[in-house]
């Protein structure tokens, strides 16, 4: 792939895929839909983009499968590229990944986390294109209205927190991050090489023990 072909791939294939597949799931203005599907889809793209950004290193599993994607690669993409769109991804991108990617992909819904100090953080999703919202947040005494901001952890009680996310922000930030990544490739030969080498490796068949007629 030439640099122009890489740019076209990111700006046409990937960008249009995001618009076609994620935007319909936003369902802004209606109460149902989009809460789990949007982070599941957006962070799936981040997984792929992180693999391209980091580059294939030749590592394989014990079964001989090539390792293209790792959580650390996706987090690197959030830290380095998404943070150009919103600096809070550099601070809280890891938390976003652990709560909103691992949960919806593997276990249907986002995860609640507990750290060694005993502090608990839970998920809170709001459907909006705005970074902030006033939401009724559940706590031990009932509910209270609180101002929440996309990505920023908020203390609900002494040892309990939430990390709120806006589905509209996730969607728009992904599109903006693709644009940023495109610009980075156009000015950084190393990123261009990593992209090209990884894509060339990805199109090769993967080894399997499965058989078929």
Q: Is residue 42 predicted with pLDDT exceeding 90?
A: yes
For residue 124, pLDDT beyond 80 = yes
pLDDT at 155 > cutoff 80: yes
Task: Specify which of 29-43, 129-143, 180-194 reaches the highest per-range mean pLDDT.
Answer: 180-194
How far is the CA of 176 from the CAs of 6, 45, 156, 171, 179, in angstroms?
Answer: 17, 13, 31, 9, 5
Confidence band, pLDDT 50/70/90 cuts, at residue 44: very high
Q: Which residues contact 54 (CB under 8 A, 6 or more apart)?
A: 70, 73, 76, 77, 194
Cβ atoms < 10 Å from Cβ of 142: 8
Domain ranges of the chain: 3-108+167-202
- Which of helix, strand or coil describes residue 149? strand
Exposed / middle / buried, residue 144 (Cβ in 10 Å: 0-12, 13-18, 19+): exposed
Q: Is the pLDDT of residue 141 over 80?
A: no
Tokens linked to 202: 């990805």
Mean residue pLDDT across the chain: 94
Closest CA to 167 of 23, 11, 30, 50: 23
Of 206 and 54, more confident: 54
Question: What are phi and psi for residue 112, nearest 5 degrees?
Answer: -100, 140
- Residue 140: is its pLDDT beyond 80? no
Q: What is the pLDDT of residue 110?
A: 96
The bridge status of strand 120-126 relative to strand 160-166 is parallel
Q: How far is the C-alpha of 176 from the C-alpha of 95, rounded, in Å?
A: 20
Tokens coding 24: 């319909």
pLDDT at residue 65 greater than cutoff 80: yes
What is the C-alpha to C-alpha distance for residues 211 and 213, in angstroms, rounded to an integer?
7
At residue 4, the pLDDT reads 96
Quick: pLDDT tens for 159-173: 999 999 999 999 999
Separation between Cα atoms, residue 58 and residue 68, nearest integer Å:
9
62 pLDDT band, cuts 50/70/90, is: confident
- Is 90 exceeded by the pLDDT of residue 67? yes
């Amino acid at each position: 792939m030439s640099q122009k072909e890489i740019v076209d791939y990111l700006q046409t294939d990937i960008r249009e895929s995001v618009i076609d597949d994620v935007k319909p799931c936003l369902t802004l203005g209606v109460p149902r839909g989009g809460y789990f599907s949007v982070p599941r889809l957006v962070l799936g793209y981040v997984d792929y983009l992180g693999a391209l950004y980091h580059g294939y290193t030749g590592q394989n599993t014990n079964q001989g499968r090539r390792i293209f994607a790792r959580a650390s690669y996706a987090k690197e993409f959030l830290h380095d590229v998404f943070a150009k769109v919103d600096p809070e991804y550099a601070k809280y991108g890891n938390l976003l990944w652990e709560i909103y990617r691992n949960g919806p992909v593997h276990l249907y819904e986002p995860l609640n986390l507990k750290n060694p100090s005993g502090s608990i953080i839970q998920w809170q999703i709001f459907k909006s294109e705005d970074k902030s919202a006033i939401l009724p947040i559940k706590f031990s005494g009932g509910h209270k209205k609180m101002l929440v901001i996309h990505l920023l952890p908020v203390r609900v009680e002494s040892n309990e927190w939430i990390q709120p996310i806006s589905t509209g922000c996730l969607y728009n930030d992904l599109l903006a991050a693709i644009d940023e990544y495109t610009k980075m490739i156009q000015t950084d030969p190393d990123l261009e090489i990593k992209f090209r080498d990884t894509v060339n490796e990805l199109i090769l068949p993967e080894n399997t023990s499965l058989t078929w007629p």
